[in-house]
Structure 1
């Protein structure tokens, strides 16, 4: 069997992940904007209205840029691949990480979906290995792809000799 080497993975995550990441980011920004509006309405200290409006406008501009750019950037970076020998991932957007885990080191393979991911019909796969670096996560997969990946990794791990340590 060939020794796996670190290289760019072949598969992109689901295009739907772009909308999921945008919605998740927008939710966070809406909370901040709501807090600013509440502060504006409840401000009894007399801070000038122009300061509140400038703060709201600045937050809205940064939020719009983040919600627009970040999901596209992440989509271009996030990749994954599973071979009979290893699992490869590439993730991040500012801080990018490449990971590889030999199949012989796989201890568990899990799939999970939070409420927002269920809405977007996405799932995440977590591959736990004997590595001190922690599990490998493949996020933003459509549900069918995630199910196939879990089945494939489980079969590959069972077919590989070793004790995953």
Structure 2
């Protein structure tokens, strides 16, 4: 807790949620991760008769785990991820079991990047990466609408340009 002019200022959760399409983006990532191994095990089990009894059960178990994770985890993550940008700092809270709160003061920001991988492009999403002089690395806000991400990068660039400090 810090004080500003005698008033106590408490750390609070950032206000903004990610774009709702982030849930579908995460689900698609999960599907892609699990689909390959399940398909390989299932095809090999179907083609190699002697191995069928020990390839198909793991394929089925992996398919069930993958389906459960695909349905449950992205929605759960969406409830925990938050972000906010003020004139003073970038605030990001991520994680569901191990929550991480990152605060990047404007005076410490060195670069602002936006990234749109192929899957993010398909969902109209982007990631804003704020690089600081911190040993913990960059602060990332993944799962933003691509237009909002571009506007946010422009706003952060303008604020950091007008903020005194050397970003080191």
Aligned residue in 1 for 2:24: 19
Aligned with 2:158 (options 138, 155, 159): 155
What stretches of structure 2 of length at least 5 have no aligned partner? none
Whether 1:28 and 2:26 are equivalent positions in the alignment is no
Q: Distance in 1 between matches of 2:20 and 2:88?
A: 27
What stretches of structure 1 of length at least 5 have no aligned partner? none
Whether 1:84 and 2:87 are equivalent positions in the alignment is yes
TM-score by length of 2: 0.89
Aligned residue in 2 for 1:130: 133
Q: Distance in 2 between matches of 1:96 and 1:131?
A: 19
Deviations 1:124-154 (A, max 9, x none): 0000001111000000000111011111111
Q: Distance in 1 between matches of 2:129 and 2:43?
A: 39
Aligned residue in 1 for 2:123: 120
Equivalent residue pairs, number: 162
Whether 1:41 and 2:41 are equivalent positions in the alignment is no
| Larger displacement relative to structure 2 (15-24 or 145-154) | 145-154
Tell whether the 8 Å contact from 1:88 to 1:100 is kept in structure 2 after alignment.
yes
Aligned residue in 2 for 1:93: 96
- Superposed displacement of residue 6, structure 1: 4.0
- Superposed displacement of residue 53, structure 1: 3.0
- Superposed displacement of residue 5, structure 1: 6.2
Aligned with 1:103 (options 98, 106, 110): 106
